[in-house]
Amino acid sequence: MSPRRAKRRDDTPPPLRAGAIPHTESHPDGDWVVRPVSAGGKVYRCPGCDQEISAHLAHIVAWRPNDEDNRRHWHTPCWNARFRRGANIHRSRNAPRHG
């Protein structure tokens, strides 16, 4: 039996799935490409509320045009309310990081 070989880690982001069609939205902070995502198999952290987006929850993925590498996963209500919300929640230096 041959020894197992470690797979090389690929740091490129996975390509977007072909399920939902992304569309461009114009907002005061610029243009965004937005794509609704049905429940996936991974947990993400929402930049709007700094809470986890569980693996079974539908949500929004948003990124700047031509910058797909920096896409962010948002709760749908957080994405819709991001201009009504105050400053983002920031963790203190000693706060635990989850996820």
* Each residue's pLDDT tens digit, 6-25: 666 666 655 555 557 889 99
Q: Where are the alpha helices (DSSP H) in the chain?
A: 76-80
Spatial CB neighbours of 60, under 8 Å, sequence gap ≥ 6: 34, 35, 36, 37, 73, 74, 75, 76, 79
**Tokens at residue 69, please?**
């590498």
- Kindly report the pTM of this predicted structure: 0.65
Of 60, 59, 51, the closest CA to residue 91 belongs to: 51
Predicted local confidence at residue 82, as pLDDT: 85
Within 10 angstroms of residue 34's Cβ, the number of other Cβ atoms is: 18
Pairing of strands 23-27, 30-37: antiparallel
